[in-house]
């Protein structure tokens, strides 16, 4: 089976589990005063689950087995790709998520962007660090001041 079909099967499974939760488990927690509303908190998850399952089924039905073209991923040669970098980047994302609260948004995000850029091949630290710092400060400002969502910019001990 082609890689796109395997991905579609996994995606369909996730959509089915998400849809089961949206259709059968979320509606039981709705308070009585909201039960007559036309739109419930589970309405958007239901739409997402149905649309995702439909897209996965379209991929499963229309996908054809063929040799990969130039530039496409060949799942039979998966070991030849740089999986180490990809797994290191996923690990870095997990470390970022765990360290965000302890280290603070600014330091964690600058470190994540700088180390992630270096993992992806950027070697000009004099470009990488200022770009990471400016992007972090701009994102923090937009989330904190424009959206009004509090993000701890620095560690708690500061």
85-137 pLDDT per residue, tens? 888 999 999 999 998 888 888 889 999 999 999 888 888 889 899 999 999 99
C-beta of residue 108 within 8 angstroms of C-beta of residue 133: no
Cα–Cα separations (whole angstroms), residue 143 to 47, 89, 132, 134, 153: 28, 24, 16, 14, 11
What mean pLDDT do residues 22-45 have? 78
pLDDT computed for residue 121 by the predictor: 85
Is pLDDT above 80 for 36?
Answer: no
The structural domains of the chain, with segments of one domain joined by +, span 3-68, 83-146
- The 10s digit of each residue's pLDDT in 54-66 is 999 998 888 776 6
Average confidence score pLDDT of the chain: 83
């Amino acid at each position: 089976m082609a890689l796109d079909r395997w991905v579609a099967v996994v995606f369909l499974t996730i959509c089915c589990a998400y849809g089961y939760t949206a259709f059968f488990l979320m509606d039981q927690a709705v308070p009585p005063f909201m039960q007559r509303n036309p739109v419930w908190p589970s309405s958007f998850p239901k739409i997402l689950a149905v649309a995702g399952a439909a897209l996965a089924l379209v991929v499963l039905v229309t996908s054809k087995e063929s040799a990969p073209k130039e530039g496409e991923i060949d799942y039979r040669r998966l070991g030849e790709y740089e999986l180490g970098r990809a797994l290191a980047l996923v690990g870095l994302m997990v470390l970022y998520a765990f360290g965000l609260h302890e280290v603070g948004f600014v330091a964690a995000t600058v470190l994540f962007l700088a180390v992630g850029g270096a993992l992806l091949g950027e070697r000009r630290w004099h470009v990488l660090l200022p770009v990471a710092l400016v992007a972090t400060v701009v994102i923090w400002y937009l989330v904190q001041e424009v959206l009004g969502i509090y993000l701890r910019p620095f560690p708690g001990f500061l």
